[in-house]
């Protein structure tokens, strides 16, 4: 994947976002492309930055530190989102690197964040991850527990919850899960939705996504991985 390809990929995904948004009477500016840089070689990440992109997602705290700690000092307009599961023992590190944590999904994690976040001068926001497919192996709060958990995060812990995030089951139509997540967000009066990846982001934009998380579509296949 050459430098130019990555710039082209970003441009064509943004064009696709604009087209789909228009078709669904949405404003393209309300949809942000999160370039998921996990497992990507450093030169590809740099190519995306050189193309002017500033919003990135990572799914592991330690790998994110390797990719971004230095760049944080070099580029003051970076915005970093954690999109993978967060262990309580990594909360401190996560809060010192990320601007947004999209995987808030259990009271114990909210408690730990509450106790650590006061030490952070930066403004950090959150998405609640919802396990829309109720899959046993998947992270996220169950839809039935969402209202109580949302209240807990906001009222008890004082966390700035912006919206909801989901990763649909691989073998079910993603569009159904996107529509479901939108309905859950509407019920809570939340306006931001993180949903859609390389294979289905157009559907997510059609369903109301404000943040799409695209890895391979931006950077190419992750080296050593099939997809
Ligand atoms: C890796 C990852 C993505 C991006 O997946 P692609 O198929 O490469 O676009 C999106 N969301 C989450 C939570 C991920 O872990």
Q: How far is the CA of 197 from the centre of ligand 1 (A)?
A: 6
Distance CA 52, CA 77 (A): 10
* Cα-only R_g, the chain: 17
pTM above 0.85, yes or no: yes
> Residues near ligand 1 with C-beta < 6 Å?
36, 38, 59, 83-84, 167, 197-198, 213-217
Q: How far is CA 28 from the centre of its chain?
A: 18
Crossing angle of the two packed helices 42-50 and 3-23, in degrees rounded to 10:
60
Distance CA 28, CA 17 (A): 6
Helix ranges, 162-226 (H): 174-188, 201-207, 216-219
CA torsion, points 73, 102, 54, 123, in degrees to nearest 10? -50
Supply φ then ψ for residue 72, to 5 degrees.
-55, -40
- Residue showing tokens 């157009």: 202
Q: How far is the CA of 139 from the centre of ligand 1 (A)?
A: 14
**Ligand 1 atom index nearest CA of 222:** 8
Helix ranges, 26-86 (H): 42-50, 61-74
- Residue showing tokens 């998380």: 213
Site to probe by mutation for ligand 1, drawn from 36, 55, 86 as the one with most ligand atoms within 8 Å of Cβ, is 36
Structure tokens belonging to residue 200: 């289905």
Q: How far is the CA of 176 from the centre of ligand 1 (A)?
A: 18
Helix ranges, 118-173 (H): 146-151
Give me the tens of pLDDT residue by residue for the chain, a chain 227 residues long.
676 799 999 999 999 999 999 999 999 999 999 999 999 999 999 999 999 999 999 999 999 999 999 999 999 999 999 999 999 999 999 999 999 999 999 999 999 999 999 988 889 999 999 999 999 999 999 999 999 999 999 999 999 999 999 999 999 999 999 999 999 999 999 999 999 999 999 999 999 999 999 999 999 999 876 54
């Amino acid at each position: 994947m050459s430098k130019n390809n990555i710039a082209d990929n970003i441009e064509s995904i943004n064009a696709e976002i604009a087209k789909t948004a228009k078709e669904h009477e949405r404003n393209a500016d309300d949809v942000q492309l999160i370039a998921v840089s996990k497992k990507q070689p450093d030169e590809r990440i740099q190519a995306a930055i050189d193309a002017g992109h500033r919003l990135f997602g990572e799914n592991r705290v330690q790998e994110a530190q390797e990719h971004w700690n230095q760049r944080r000092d070099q580029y003051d307009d970076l915005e970093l989102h954690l999109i993978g599961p967060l262990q309580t023992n990594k909360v401190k590190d996560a809060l010192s690197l990320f601007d947004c944590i999209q995987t808030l999904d259990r009271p114990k994690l909210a408690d730990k964040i509450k106790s650590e976040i006061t030490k952070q001068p930066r403004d950090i926001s959150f998405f609640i991850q919802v396990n829309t497919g109720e899959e046993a192996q998947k992270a996220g709060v169950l839809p039935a527990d969402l209202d109580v958990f949302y209240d807990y995060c906001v009222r008890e812990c004082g966390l700035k919850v912006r919206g909801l995030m989901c990763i649909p089951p691989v073998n079910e139509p993603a569009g159904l899960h996107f529509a479901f997540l939108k309905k859950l967000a509407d019920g809570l009066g939340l306006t931001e939705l993180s949903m859609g990846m390389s294979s289905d982001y157009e559907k997510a934009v059609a369903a109301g996504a404000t943040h799409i998380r695209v890895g391979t579509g931006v950077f190419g296949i992750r080296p050593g991985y099939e997809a």
